[in-house]
Chain A
C-alpha cells in the first residue's frame, strides 16, 4: 500500500517538475496578490500590520484554489485517471498521494515564501513564525478540501469559476483560525496555541475524510 502511495506521489512530482512554470505561476500569483494590497489600501505601517494576516491567508486560499483545477485535469484528459479508478488499489489512497504531491508543489512554497511576505507587511518575527506554522497546518487542509471540489467539477465547462463558488465557502474555518492565530500572536504568544491546535484538528479530520469524499466524487464524475 505504501509503495503505491510513493509511486503515485513520485510520478506526480516528476510530471510537475518537468513543467516547472505551472508551479511557479501559483507562487508568483500569491506574491503579486499580496503585493497589490498595500498599493490599494495605503502603505501605512499600522494598517499593513492589521491587514497582513488576513491578506496572506486570502491570497493563499486563492492561489491554492487556482492550482486545484490542474489536480485531476491532465490525468482525466489522457485517461490515466480512469485506469487509476480501475486498479485494485484503494482509490482514496491514490487520491491522497495526488493531493500530497499537489500540496508539496503549491502549498509548501507558500509556507516557505511567507517570511518574505511578512516583511512586506512589517509583521514581527513572532508573527511570521506563527504564520509559517499556521500555513504549514492550514494549506494541506485547503488542498484536501479543494480536491473534493476539483473532483466534482472535473471536465466541466467553466469549471474554474464553479470550483471557486463551491470551495471558497468551505475554506472559511481555515481562514478564520489561520488568520486568527497570526493576529493573536501580536497580543500574547500563548494565545496562539488554541488556534494552532484547532488547525491541527482540521488537518487530521480532513486527512481522514477528504480522500474518501474526493474518491467518491471522482467515481461520480468518471462513470
Chain B
C-alpha cells in the first residue's frame, strides 16, 4: 500500500482524526493524573531529607517538576512544528505550533507559580534570581513574544512564518541564556536548586512524578488538538467542507 506522508497535512483530513483522538487523550490524562497524584499523596514518605527535612509541602514536586519539564519540551515541539512549516510550507504545521503555544505558556506559568509556593517554606522566599528560575521566566517571555507577534500580524501567512522564525531564533538563544544566567564562575553565584538526577530519587516519588508528567503530556495533546480544531475551523471557514460540516452539525 502506497502511504501518503502528507495525507494528514491537509486540515480537512486531520480535522475528524483529531476529533476522534481527543477523547482518548482526555481519558489517558485522567488516568495518569489520578494514579500519579494518588501515589504521590498516599504512597510516598511524609518528609524528605535528613537534618533539615522537607515536610508534607515537598509534595508540590509532583506538579512543579512535570510542569517545568513540559514547559521546556513543548517549546521544542512548537519550534519543531514551526520549522517543518517553514521547510515544507504546510499550513497545518503552523496551526499546530500555534495551538501548542498557549499550553506551553500555561505550563511555564504553572512551574513558576508552584515553584514560588514551594520556595517560600523551603528557601524562605517566593522568588530568587536562581539560574533555573530566571531561565524559566525568560522562557515564559519567549512564549508571550511568540503569541504576541502572531496576534499582531493580520495576514495569517505572514504571521505564521514570522512567529515561526522568532521561535527558531529563540530556541538557539535558550542554551545561551541558560549558561549566561548560570554564570561563568560557579563560585560567584549560589544556585538554590540542588543538583539532582533521576537515579537518586526515591522509587515511589519518581513513579508518581513520571505518571503526572505523562498525564500532563496527554493533557497537552488533548488541549492542543482541541485548539487546533478551532483554529482549522476559523481559518478554513470559507471552504466547502467546513460549511457542510456546520450545516450537518457533525461534531465528531
CB <8 Å contact, B149 and A169? no
CB <8 Å contact, B170 and A170? yes
Q: What secondary structure prevails in chain B residues at the interface with A?
A: helix
Contact-size category for B? 20 to 34
Given contacts A156-B152, A165-B148, A169-B141, contact A213 B165 (CB under 8 A): yes
Q: Is B91 located at the chain interface by the 8 A CB criterion?
A: no
Question: How distant is B225 from chain A, measured CB to nearest CB, in Å?
Answer: 27
CB <8 Å contact, A173 and B169? no
Q: 1/0 per position for B162-179, CB-CB distance to A under 8 A?
A: 100110011011001101
CA distance A166 to B179 in the complex (A): 20
Question: How distant is A34 from chain B, measured CB to nearest CB, in Å?
Answer: 23
Q: Is B153 located at the chain interface by the 8 A CB criterion?
A: yes
Q: Which residue of B lies closest to A219 (CB)?
A: B161
CB <8 Å contact, A180 and B162? no
Q: Is B180 located at the chain interface by the 8 A CB criterion?
A: yes
Q: Is B12 located at the chain interface by the 8 A CB criterion?
A: no
Q: What secondary structure prevails in chain A residues at the interface with B?
A: helix
Residue numbers in A under 8 Å from B142 (CB-CB): 169
Q: Is B22 located at the chain interface by the 8 A CB criterion?
A: no
Q: Is B144 located at the chain interface by the 8 A CB criterion?
A: yes
* Set B149, B172, B179, B181: member contacting A153, Cβ < 8 A: B149
CB <8 Å contact, A220 and B165? yes
8 Å CB contacts to B: which residues of A141-177? 148-149, 152-153, 156-159, 162, 165-166, 168-170, 172-173, 176-177
Residue numbers in B under 8 Å from A221 (CB-CB): 158, 162
Question: How distant is A145 from chain B, measured CB to nearest CB, in Å?
Answer: 8
Given contacts A156-B153, A165-B144, contact A172 B165 (CB under 8 A): no
Given contacts A158-B152, A223-B158, contact A148 B169 (CB under 8 A): yes
CA distance A148 to B238 in the complex (A): 34
CB <8 Å contact, A213 and B169? yes
CB <8 Å contact, A170 and B169? yes
CB <8 Å contact, B148 and A162? yes
CA distance A152 to B161 in the complex (A): 9
Residue numbers in B under 8 Å from A152 (CB-CB): 149, 162, 165-166
